[in-house]
């Protein structure tokens, strides 16, 4: 992979470290990749400098998002799909968003347990992330890790969300294709679909299709998917699978490839990635402004005096905000 460095770190020593890390990642060094991911997750300046070097021309990987309610078999499905890609000697990077441990605050590593057979394969790189503060930081962290996996040469990148919350909707701003996994015995499927996932799904997977309720699930999907996202059919694709024995996984892989080919040939993939970079830019601007504004506020005399009035009940918070913003910083 030919890469060009588009950044210059503040300190020469840090610059040398970043350059070396960047080179090692682009050469497929797993340790360097793991280190860079840790730096990005902790917002370390050297990790962010590596990300600044990852320009769009380096992003040739195809990114698949997998979401769905807990217990529908997402991780097992991803493991089976990874095996099919490895059969074709296609490398895979997996980002598994796990629940946060109440003790350590880190990921509970459920995905690594369920994907154990792939963990030591040099063509596969698996990283678990905790869900802490995901409504704010997940898109930023996931984008960063996706870029690093792309830089390392992974052909396919899979992002698995935890299955609940805003992160499921945010995933569409990170990936090229969204797979929503359902199961016949998951309960009220219509309500689940109405939660917003229907609008972002490119492929619906009915996993555990040997369970009771399959016909009802298919009927429900046919009722609500008529205006889906599939640019081939005018609706989302529905694939039935049994991830425990691998049934339907080849069909799923073929559906992903067909969707990718149409996206690429129609210019849809280029447009989607341009839109995602726009979203990312706005998010980063807002985050930086928020940090700078917070620092300025706590050092501002007008803000401090207004805050004391709010604390004492001398003024309501709503009026205080308007008054403060009208007067500005001092």
- Where are the domains positioned within the chain? 1-58, 59-268, 280-327
Q: Where does the pLDDT of residue 4 fall: very low under 50, low under 70, confident under 90, or very high at 90 and above?
A: very low
The HSE-up count of residue 122 (CA atoms within 13 Å, CB side) is 3
What rounded mean pLDDT belongs to the chain? 78
- Asked if residue 254 has pLDDT above 90, the reply is yes
Q: How far is CA 129 from CA 40, 83, 139, 162, in A?
A: 12, 22, 12, 10
**Element of type H or E holding 239:** strand 237-240
Task: Return all residues near 192 (Cβ < 8 A) that are at least 6 apart.
Answer: 69, 182, 186
- Quick one: which of 174, 226, 165 has its CA closest to 196? 165
Instruction: Identify the sign of the CA torsion 311, 315, 321, 327.
Output: negative
| DSSP reduced 3-state for 212 | coil
- The CATH architecture annotation of domain 59-268 reads 3-Layer(aba) Sandwich (3.40)
The mean pLDDT value for 263-284 works out to 90
∠ Cα 323 303 298 (to 5°): 150
9: confidence class by pLDDT, cuts 50, 70, 90? very low
Gap between the Cα atoms of 199 and 245, Å rounded = 30
How far is it, in rounded angstroms, from Cα 203 to Cα 11? 47
The mean per-residue pLDDT over the stretch 83-108 comes to: 75
**281: β partners:** none
Tell me the mean pLDDT in the region 247-260: 93
Q: What does pTM read for this prediction? A: 0.81
pLDDT at site 206 = 86
Candidate from 34-38, 206-210, 249-253 with smallest mean pLDDT: 206-210
């Amino acid at each position: 992979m030919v890469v060009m460095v588009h950044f210059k770190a503040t300190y020469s020593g840090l610059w040398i470290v970043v350059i070396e890390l960047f080179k090692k990642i682009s050469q497929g060094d797993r340790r360097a990749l793991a280190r860079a991911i840790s730096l990005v997750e902790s917002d370390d300046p050297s990790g962010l400098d590596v990300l600044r070097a990852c320009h769009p021309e380096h992003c040739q990987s195809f990114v698949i998002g997998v979401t769905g309610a807990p217990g529908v078999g997402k991780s097992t499905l991803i493991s089976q799909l990874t095996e099919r890609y490895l059969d074709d000697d296609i490398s895979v990077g997996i980002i598994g968003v796990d629940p946060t441990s109440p003790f350590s605050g880190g990921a509970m590593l459920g995905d690594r347990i369920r994907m154990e057979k792939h963990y030591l394969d040099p063509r596969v790189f698996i990283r678990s992330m905790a869900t802490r503060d995901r409504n704010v930081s997940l898109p930023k962290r996931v984008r960063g890790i996706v870029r690093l996996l792309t830089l390392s040469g992974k052909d396919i990148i899979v992002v698995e969300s935890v299955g609940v919350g805003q992160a499921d909707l945010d995933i569409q701003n990170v990936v090229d294709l969204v797979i929503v996994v359902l199961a016949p015995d998951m309960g009220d499927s219509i309500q689940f679909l109405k939660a917003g996932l229907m609008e972002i799904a490119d492929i619906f997977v009915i996993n555990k299709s040997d369970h009771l309720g399959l016909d009802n699930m298919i009927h429900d999907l046919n009722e609500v998917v008529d205006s889906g996202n599939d640019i081939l059919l005018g609706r989302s694709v529905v694939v039935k699978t049994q991830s425990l024995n691998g049934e339907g996984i080849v069909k799923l892989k073929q559906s992903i490839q067909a969707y990718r080919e149409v996206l690429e040939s129609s210019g849809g993939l280029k447009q989607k990635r341009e839109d995602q970079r726009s979203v990312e830019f706005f998010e980063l601007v807002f985050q930086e402004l928020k940090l700078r504004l917070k620092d300025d506020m706590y050092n501002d005399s007008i803000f401090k005096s207004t805050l004391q009035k709010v604390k004492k009940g001398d003024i309501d918070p709503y009026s205080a905000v308007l008054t403060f913003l009208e007067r500005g910083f001092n």
